[in-house]
């Protein structure tokens, strides 16, 4: 018998109006729990914790910022005073990757693990992880939630998880055919390193490994059609954006199905989402075309519940109607992060916007680049180092740099100073690739 199309049809096919009632019921219990058990929120919210607060009225409460919870943990290590359960209920500790500051410690109870795994399994199944597939898991197992937790999420989808982690790239390439592995879960920049090792050390083409599914997350750029097409043509597998999430909220809350390159929102029964106008801070309606900053409130979380937490991701809602896959939730794309954004002569620039231009310019560039920012800004221009495409002679680099600068200016509205580099001059990484290098002023 074939696998069902949905892992949790009882919630995935539920219309938004009915989901709203489920969310309100879950929130009533969660709010009572938070105001009774969280020292952080009793202190932060004052008298507001004494009364009932509906999800509609949630907008009246102040936002919670990562710096606040980081300060809470520094004052009361390791969990902070927003830990809301007895310490003996903590069964696992993770840390955030620390790409935007000092890492946060994430405490999980068994209840939290069950929720995170269930919601993540739903997203992974949506992206194509199914019973019978053997998926090698190549994210860092050292403290990051992407390791152990996402391993469990792959298992929750019904697929077979092969726990490899990062490092030993040649051994990984030997293991894939030995174990008959049919899928890989990793960052989208990792295949470039695999291609290099295959070519230089094993003399093989990526398609020879027989991978059928590439599940990716942890980095931006997967909504870029040219980048996805290149991966699919090179590897012969289907590319799925399977892993959008935040360690302090849920490991995975968004993932793609086979019918769209946008992300389904999968955590409707775990996390209440607001989209806020970046300028005014006002709540925006979740409807097609809305762009706003993601703010998350836990509907079910035991150890470290968060209320109106600023995720710093900027999302654009692409559809709210039923999808051809049968799911009834809304879909979105990630435009960038407010803490990655920088200003060039009055123009706000997301690194992902630059990435889109460079990736689309495969006639000139390999797709790999780095932005250099000196000092706090604002900046006169985007200083960017870009790898030339394979085989481009150095005498063509000045022409290519000028053309790339023109394309960036046309697409983004900001001037760029482009320095061309030889093909494969920039390192290929196993983990997250940082597109911006900050230099001292």
Phi and psi at residue 179, to the nearest 5° = -100, 5
Residues 137 and 150: beta-carbon distance below 8 Å:
yes
* Dist. CA 30–CA 45, nearest whole Å: 15
Residue 335 lies in a domain: no
* Dist. CA 325–CA 181, nearest whole Å: 26
Note whether 371 and 285 are same-domain residues: no
Note whether 318 and 366 are same-domain residues: no
Strands (E), 58-145: 92-95, 105-108, 134-137
> Which CATH number goes with the domain that contains 161?
3.40.50.12780
Q: Which two tokens stand for residue 374?
A: 């000196």
Note whether 404 and 308 are same-domain residues: no
pLDDT value, residue 350? 80
Count the helices and strands in the chain (H runs, E runs).
11, 20
Question: Within 13 Å of residue 197, how many CA atoms lie on the same side as its CB?
Answer: 18
How far does CA 338 lie from the centroid of its chain?
A: 14
Q: Which residues does residue 336 pair with via DSSP β-bridges, in sequence order?
A: 314
pLDDT in tens, 65-106: 999 999 999 999 999 999 999 999 999 999 987 655 588 999
Residue 382 lies in a domain: yes
Note whether 123 and 213 are same-domain residues: yes
pLDDT value, residue 3? 42
Q: Are strands 238-246 and 250-255 parallel, antiparallel or unpaired?
A: antiparallel
Note whether 253 and 396 are same-domain residues: no
pLDDT value, residue 98? 61
**Cβ contacts of 168 within 8 Å, gap of 6 or more:** none
Note whether 240 and 103 are same-domain residues: yes
Note whether 82 and 218 are same-domain residues: yes
pLDDT value, residue 419? 95
- Which ranges in 134-292 belong to alpha helices (H)? 148-156, 169-178, 190-197, 225-235
Residue 32 lies in a domain: yes
Q: Which two tokens stand for residue 39?
A: 């020292």
Note whether 150 and 270 are same-domain residues: yes
* Dist. CA 200–CA 345, nearest whole Å: 43
pTM, 2 dp:
0.83
* Dist. CA 84–CA 103, nearest whole Å: 20
pLDDT value, residue 1? 35
Q: Which two tokens stand for residue 114?
A: 């069950």
**Cβ contacts of 60 within 8 Å, gap of 6 or more:** 48, 53
* Dist. CA 307–CA 356, nearest whole Å: 33
Of 330, 363, 386, the residue that ends a domain is: 330
Q: Which two tokens stand for residue 264?
A: 């389904």
Note whether 133 and 201 are same-domain residues: yes
Of 308, 330, 352, the residue that ends a domain is: 330
Phi and psi at residue 254, to the nearest 5° = -135, 140
Which residue ranges in the chain fall short of pLDDT 70? 1-4, 98-101, 430-432, 440-441
Note whether 28 and 78 are same-domain residues: yes
Task: Output helix, strand, coil percentages for the chain, rounded to the nearest 5.
Answer: 35, 25, 40
pLDDT value, residue 440? 61
Note whether 318 and 405 are same-domain residues: no
> Which CATH number goes with the domain that contains 365?
3.30.300.30
pLDDT value, residue 99? 54
Directed axis angle between helix 190-197 and helix 225-235, to 10°?
Answer: 30
Residue 99 lies in a domain: yes
Please give the residue range of the domain that contains residue 397: 342-439
Residues 170 and 189: beta-carbon distance below 8 Å:
no
The tally of domains found in the chain comes to 2
Residues 256 and 263: beta-carbon distance below 8 Å:
yes
Of 330, 360, 381, the residue that ends a domain is: 330
Note whether 181 and 203 are same-domain residues: yes
pLDDT value, residue 151? 97
Residue 34 lies in a domain: yes
Residue 118 lies in a domain: yes
Residue 336 lies in a domain: no
Residue 337 lies in a domain: no
């Amino acid at each position: 018998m074939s696998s069902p199309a949905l892992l949790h049809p009882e919630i995935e096919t539920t219309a938004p109006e009915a989901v709203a009632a489920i969310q309100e019921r879950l929130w009533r219990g969660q709010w009572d729990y938070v105001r009774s058990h969280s020292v952080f929120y009793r202190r932060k919210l004052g008298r507001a914790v004494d009364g009932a607060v509906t999800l509609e009225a949630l907008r009246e409460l102040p936002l919670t910022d990562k710096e606040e919870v980081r300060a809470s943990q520094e004052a009361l290590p390791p969990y902070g005073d927003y830990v809301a359960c007895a310490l003996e209920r903590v069964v696992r500790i993770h840390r955030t990757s620390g790409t935007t500051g000092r890492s946060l410690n994430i405490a999980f109870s068994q209840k939290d693990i069950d929720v995170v795994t269930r919601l993540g399994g739903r997203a992974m199944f949506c992206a194509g992880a199914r019973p019978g597939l053997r998926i090698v898991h190549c994210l860092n197992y050292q403290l990051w939630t992407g390791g152990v937790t996402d391993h469990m999420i792959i298992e929750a989808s019904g697929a077979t998880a092969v726990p490899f982690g990062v490092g030993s790239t040649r051994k990984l390439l030997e293991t894939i055919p030995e174990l008959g592995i049919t899928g890989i879960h990793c960052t989208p920049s990792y295949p470039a390193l695999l291609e290099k090792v295959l070519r230089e050390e094993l003399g093989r083409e990526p398609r020879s490994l027989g991978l059928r599914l590439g599940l990716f997350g942890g980095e931006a750029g997967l909504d870029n059609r040219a980048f996805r097409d290149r991966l699919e043509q090179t590897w012969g597998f289907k590319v799925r954006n399977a892993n959008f999430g935040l360690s302090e909220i849920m490991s995975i809350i968004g993932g793609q199905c086979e019918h769209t390159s946008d992300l389904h929102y999968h955590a409707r029964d775990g996390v209440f989402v607001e989209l806020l106008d970046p300028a005014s801070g006002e709540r925006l309606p979740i409807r097609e075309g809305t762009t706003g900053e993601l703010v998350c409130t836990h509907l079910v979380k035991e150890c470290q519940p968060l209320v109106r937490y600023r995720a710093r991701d900027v999302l654009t809602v692409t559809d709210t109607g039923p999808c051809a896959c049968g799911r009834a939730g809304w879909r979105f794309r990630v435009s960038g992060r407010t803490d990655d954004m920088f200003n060039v002569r009055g123009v706000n620039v997301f690194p992902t916007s630059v990435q889109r231009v460079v990736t689309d310019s495969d006639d000139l560039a390999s797709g790999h680049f780095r932005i250099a920012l000196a000092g706090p800004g604002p900046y006169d221009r985007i200083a960017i180092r870009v790898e030339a495409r394979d085989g481009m002679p150095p005498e063509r680099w000045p022409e290519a740099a000028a053309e790339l600068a023109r394309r960036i200016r046309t697409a983004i509205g900001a001037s760029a100073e482009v320095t061309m580099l030889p093909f494969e001059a920039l390192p290929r990484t196993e983990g997250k690739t940082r597109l911006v290098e900050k230099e001292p002023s």
